[in-house]
């Protein structure tokens, strides 16, 4: 089992015939993802990468039964593309595009909430989603991933790749890897993804990579502390999704927070990674997560070794 994406996911690519869309759609196809078509206004009726091209997402959904959209549309039009996908009935929208104006994303997120409640948005400004050995929808290097029991969620693309590589080198594969992006208004939060991992029987432990700025990590700490302890009634009834964690009380959470040495008030890389006053500091996030019971990884290079030292898969 996995979250969000699997071998049966039917993916269309918005911005399909552009340079970024073409390159990464090709890599997704090579990985084995079901890319069933793409959308480029004005190019409908043609083919690209041996897949059909449509003028609108609505047409693409009707013709291909797509349920996932991968967006590479340039920033000025990307929020409109998100809303178009939601209106067409897409259930998972993955927006890779960076540099989308905050006001545009605020409008798009509210539109999805009001007019397309079926849609879950990942991104923008993210590497995408991959369920190893099944499907990838994004820009991550597929070869470093390995199927296994570790769920990984991150605000940073490059740090995600580093963590995945370390885990795979230690023989610890991943159930699903989700890059939520580092913008001020993400489509999905750490809490949203932690909730999905909590419900997934394949996911036995979770790695979370955060950074300074905002309150997403503190929110995740509160959720982990309050909600990720197994339901004892479910355990007594033999619920396999929860009973396997009865001995430890919860799925272990391993956390690395980037930005420890960032100067106050300076944005570091991501638009959402800015510390204002005492809010969103590295220290505040670490304290909240440690108090919630998470294992803190102090050094980026020690993510894989820390997980390997403190976690043993059920199947091992």
Residue 115 known to be catalytic = no
- 227 plus 98 within the same structural domain: no
- Domain assignment present for residue 128? The answer is no
Mean pLDDT confidence for 164-168: 98
Read off the pLDDT of residues 231-253 as tens digits, 9 standing for 90 and up: 444 444 444 444 444 445 589 99
Higher pLDDT, 19 or 243: 19
- Domain assignment present for residue 114? The answer is yes
Q: Which range is least confidently modeled, 64-73, 81-90, 148-157, 224-233?
A: 224-233
- Domain assignment present for residue 4? The answer is no
User: Is 60 exceeded by the pLDDT of residue 275?
Assistant: no
What CATH code is carried by the domain that includes residue 234?
Answer: 3.40.50.261
- 55 plus 83 within the same structural domain: yes
- 181 plus 291 within the same structural domain: yes
Strand intervals (E) in the chain: 10-14, 34-39, 47-48, 51-54, 68-71, 92-95, 120-122, 128-131, 135-138, 147-154, 174-179, 205-211, 253-258, 295-296
- 115 plus 151 within the same structural domain: no
- 117 plus 144 within the same structural domain: no
- 199 plus 262 within the same structural domain: yes
- Domain assignment present for residue 315? The answer is no
pLDDT of residue 249: 55
Last residue of a domain, one of 122, 153, 174: 122
Residue with tokens 């950074």: 211
pTM over 0.85? The answer is: yes
What CATH code is carried by the domain that includes residue 19?
Answer: 3.40.50.720
Residue with tokens 């913008």: 183
- 100 plus 152 within the same structural domain: no
- 114 plus 160 within the same structural domain: no
- 157 plus 59 within the same structural domain: no
- 155 plus 295 within the same structural domain: yes
- 46 plus 156 within the same structural domain: no
List the catalytic residue out of 24, 145, 270, 282: 270
Residue 280 banded pLDDT, cuts 50, 70, 90? confident
- Domain assignment present for residue 130? The answer is no
Distance (Å, whole) CA 200 – CA 236: 18
- Domain assignment present for residue 306? The answer is yes
Mean pLDDT confidence for 36-45: 98
Domain with 248 in it: 140-310
- Domain assignment present for residue 132? The answer is no
Q: Per the structure, how many domains does the chain have?
A: 2
User: Is 50 exceeded by the pLDDT of residue 311?
Assistant: yes
Rounded to the nearest 5 percent, the helix, strand and coil shares of the chain are 35, 20, 40
pLDDT of residue 279: 56
Q: Computed over its alpha carbons, how large is the radius of gyration of the chain?
A: 19
- 179 plus 297 within the same structural domain: yes
- Domain assignment present for residue 131? The answer is no
Last residue of a domain, one of 69, 90, 122: 122
Read off the pLDDT of residues 49-69 as tens digits, 9 standing for 90 and up: 999 999 999 999 999 999 999
């Amino acid at each position: 089992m996995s979250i969000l994406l699997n071998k049966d996911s039917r993916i269309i690519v918005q911005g399909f015939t552009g340079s970024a869309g073409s390159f990464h759609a090709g890599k997704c196809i090579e990985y084995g993802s079901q890319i069933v078509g793409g959308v480029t206004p004005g190019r409908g009726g043609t083919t690209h990468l041996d897949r059909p091209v449509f003028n609108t997402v609505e047409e693409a959904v009707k013709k291909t039964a797509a349920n996932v959209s991968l967006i590479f549309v340039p920033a000025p039009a990307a929020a409109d593309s998100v809303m178009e996908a939601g209106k067409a009935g897409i259930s998972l929208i993955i927006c890779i595009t960076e540099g989308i104006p905050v006001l545009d994303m605020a409008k798009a997120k509210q539109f999805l909430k009001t007019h397309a409640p079926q849609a879950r948005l990942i991104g923008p400004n993210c590497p995408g989603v991959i369920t190893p050995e099944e499907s990838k929808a994004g820009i991550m290097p597929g070869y470093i991933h390995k199927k296994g029991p570790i769920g990984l969620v991150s605000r940073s693309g490059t740090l995600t790749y580093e963590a995945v590589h370390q885990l795979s080198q230690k023989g610890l594969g991943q159930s699903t890897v989700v890059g939520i992006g580092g913008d001020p208004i993400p489509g999905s939060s750490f809490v949203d993804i932690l909730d999905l991992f909590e419900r997934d029987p394949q996911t036995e432990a979770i790695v979370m990579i955060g950074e300074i700025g905002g309150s997403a990590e503190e929110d995740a700490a509160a959720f982990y502390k309050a909600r990720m302890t197994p339901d004892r009634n479910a355990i007594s009834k033999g619920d396999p999704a929860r009973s396997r964690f009865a001995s430890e009380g919860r799925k272990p959470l391993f956390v690395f927070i980037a930005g420890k040495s960032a100067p106050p008030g300076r944005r570091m890389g991501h638009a959402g990674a800015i510390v204002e006053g005492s809010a969103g500091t590295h220290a505040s996030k670490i304290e909240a997560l440690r108090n919630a019971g998470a294992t803190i990884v102090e050094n980026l290079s020690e993510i894989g070794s820390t997980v390997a030292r403190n976690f043993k898969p059920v199947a091992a």
